[in-house]
Amino acid sequence: MSTITLIRHGQANSTAQDEVSYDRLSDLGHQQARWLGEHLRETQAHNTRLYTGTLRRHIETAEGMAMDLEPSRDARLNELEYFTLGGLLAQQHGIPFPTEQAGFIAHLPTVFNYWKDEKLEGAPETYAHFQTRIRDALTEIAAGDGPALVVTSGGLIANVIGQQMDLSVETTARTAIAIFHTSLHQLHPIGGTLSPVLFNATPHLDSATRRASRTNI
């Protein structure tokens, strides 16, 4: 069983209100990815494999990192469709999509709970399927040879951590909201199980000149 380092993609189009328009890095997102790659090379972080989802923001982040590792693309590492689910919540239950950043803090747990309880007709996948696909993907990666980098999304990272730590839906959602762009989250094999040993680390953004570049929306 191998160590896995999960990486949230760089800042995407934060003004978007649908899946397609969100799925591209902002100028800052591209810079965050470059800074992360520089940090990993300078510290000689040992990683022998690189995985990404198939979303544009995942691929652009991995390309910006320039790790000299051939990436493996896996759709199981793609994010849950938050904009789609939020739209269904508004249409079917009259709960509007938030218009300000503070509104997401209450909105995301609500979306997760309605989705988990199968109260969103026409959801692109069930909550149970999402949980299974991310568990299967990480299990396969962990079974491979050598430490692996996995570029993915904040909601997926939060749910992986939620699975490993048996977190409630509400706590998992709050965890997702807290995750910074291009942050590092490490799972290390302990006693035959992947255990979280690093969460939301941004060493490449922690200097005085870069702290303002640390984003989660």
Q: Is 125 a catalytic residue?
A: no
Distances (CA, A) of 41 to 69, 89, 118, 150, 159: 12, 43, 44, 16, 28
8 carries a ligand binding annotation: no
Whether 100 is catalytic is no
- Angle at the Cα of 196 from the Cα atoms of 192 and 197, rounded to 5 degrees: 105
39, 79, 181, 185: the catalytic one is 79
Residues in the chain: 217
Residue 80 labelled as part of a binding site: yes
Q: Out of 9, 39, 58, 107, which one is annotated catalytic?
A: 9
Instruction: Give CA–CA dist 179/155, Å, rounded.
Output: 9
**214 annotated binding-site participant:** no
Pairwise CA distance, residues 49 & 146, whole Å: 7
Residue list for the binding site: 57, 79-82
- Residues making up the annotated binding site for substrate are 57, 79-82
Residues with active-site annotation: 9, 79
